[in-house]
Each structure stands twice: as structure tokens, then as C-alpha cells.
Chain A
Amino acid sequence: EPEVTQTPSHQVTQMGQEVILRCVPISNHLYFYWYRQILGQKVEFLVSFYNNEISEKSEIFDDQFSVERPDGSNFTLKIRSTKLEDSAMYFCASSPPPGQKETQYFGPGTRLLVL
């Protein structure tokens, strides 16, 4: 069964550094998402992406964050100038086109630790 994959599985960075989290969505999916889960808290929506542009974003997704689909397979989340409170598990998800039972399939996550 096809899966969403994410790299790296763990990332440790210094405060103020930039990080790029990578995701490979399921190949025929057209919608892509990023979520995060701070330790002990619930999963929070960050952003959705369709047709090479952001379709919706939450209040968490400020100018520090950006997303990109640089090629036909990868979907990246860039965090500029990381802060301590960015430490979390970041999940990528993808879903098929609308009308095809829009289940979002989640990747295994990248655990980001900002020191």
C-alpha cells in the first residue's frame, strides 16, 4: 500500500537556524498538508497546499514558515529562524482529489528539537 514518507525522522537544530522538513506524498494525491504536535498536546493544522499554492493556513503558520513543492514528488516545510517553541513532531499528509473520499494519509512524522 502506498505511504507518505518523511525525512529526516529526527532533526536537532540550534535556535535561530533554518530547517527544511521533507515529505513525499502518495503519488496520485493532489492535496498536501502539514500538521504539528507539540509534546503532550493535540495535533494542530498548519497549512494545506493545492495546485502549487497555499489553500488554507492556520494562525500558527506565520511568516516564519513556508511550503514548497520543488519537483513532482517532494513537499517541503521550511522553518526560518527556529524558536524553542517550534520543537514538535511535524506530520505531513496527503489526500486524493476532491470527490474521492477525502481521507488524509499521514506520514510517520519528523521530530524537531530546537535547542
Chain B
Amino acid sequence: AQSVSQHNHHVILSEAASLELGCNYSYGGTVNLFWYVQYPGQHLQLLLKYFSGDPLVKGIKGFEAEFIKSKFSFNLRKPSVQWSDTAEYFCAVNARQKVTFGTGTKLQVIP
């Protein structure tokens, strides 16, 4: 069975700081990888996704993620965060039509 680990449960950053959220997964076969964001009181929104090809994928709002197959990782990055990035971020793996989510990372950006 697949599993997803997000090691940072709560991250606090000042505006303009750089962000990197870790995500590791375990699954032996082909996977599709995603980052979702959940703003306070809102539903899950897709930030970016990786299916194949260039392991560095760019998403909305200046986010990017890098798939490193050898490390089973798909870390999320943003060079300069804004207060509006305050939200919970979920890494997810889709294998065999089943999405498994990580436990989420709460990001708090201080103005």
C-alpha cells in the first residue's frame, strides 16, 4: 500500500522568506504526485502535479516542486512567501486510482 509522509507539521515564516515543505512517499510502482492547498475555511485546491517528464514542475502562485525518484521525494518550494500563502498544504500520491494524502503541513506566514 502507498503511504505519504510530511515531516513538517507546522511551519512559521516571515513574509519574503523561502519555503520548502518535505514530502516522501512509498510505493513500488508508477505514481502521480500532487500538492494540494487548503486555505482556512475552504476546500482542497490543486497547486501542482507531476505525471512524467521534467521532474521540476511549476504550479500556481509561484509554487514549484521537484520529483526526486531515487529519494521518493516531492518537495514543495516557493522562493518568497506571502501572508496570503497561510494555509495547510497536503502532499498526495495517486496510484491505481486511489489518492493517499499526507498528514498536511500548516504554514503560517507572519507579515
The residue in B42, B90, B98 that gathers the most chain A C-beta atoms within 10 A of its C-beta is B98
| A75 located at the interface, meaning its Cβ lies under 8 Å from any Cβ of chain B in the complex | no
A106 pairs with B101, CB closer than 8 A = no
- Residues from chain B with Cβ under 8 Å of A17 in the complex: none
Please give me the residue from chain A that is nearest to B51 by CB atom.
A101
Closest 9 CB pairs of A and B: A108-B43, A43-B101, A106-B44, A42-B103, A109-B43, A42-B101, A48-B97, A56-B98, A45-B98
CB proximity of B99 to chain A, nearest CB, Å: 6
| A105 located at the interface, meaning its Cβ lies under 8 Å from any Cβ of chain B in the complex | yes
| B73 located at the interface, meaning its Cβ lies under 8 Å from any Cβ of chain A in the complex | no
Chain A's interface: helix, strand, loop or mixed, by majority? Answer: strand
- Residues from chain B with Cβ under 8 Å of A93 in the complex: 99
| B94 located at the interface, meaning its Cβ lies under 8 Å from any Cβ of chain A in the complex | yes
| B46 located at the interface, meaning its Cβ lies under 8 Å from any Cβ of chain A in the complex | yes
Instruction: Determine the distance from Cα of A87 to Cα of B36 in the docked complex, in whole angstroms.
Output: 23
Query: Interface residues, chain A, CB within 8 Å of chain B?
Result: 31, 33, 35, 41-45, 48, 50, 55-56, 91, 93, 95, 98, 101-109
Instruction: Determine the distance from Cα of A49 to Cα of B97 in the docked complex, in whole angstroms.
Output: 10
CB<8 Å pairs between A and B, sample of 29: A31-B97, A33-B99, A35-B99, A35-B101, A42-B90, A42-B102, A42-B103, A43-B44, A43-B90, A43-B92, A43-B101, A43-B104, A44-B101, A45-B99, A45-B100, A48-B97, A50-B97, A55-B97, A56-B96, A56-B98, A91-B44, A98-B97, A102-B32, A102-B94, A103-B34, A105-B46, A106-B36, A106-B43, A109-B43
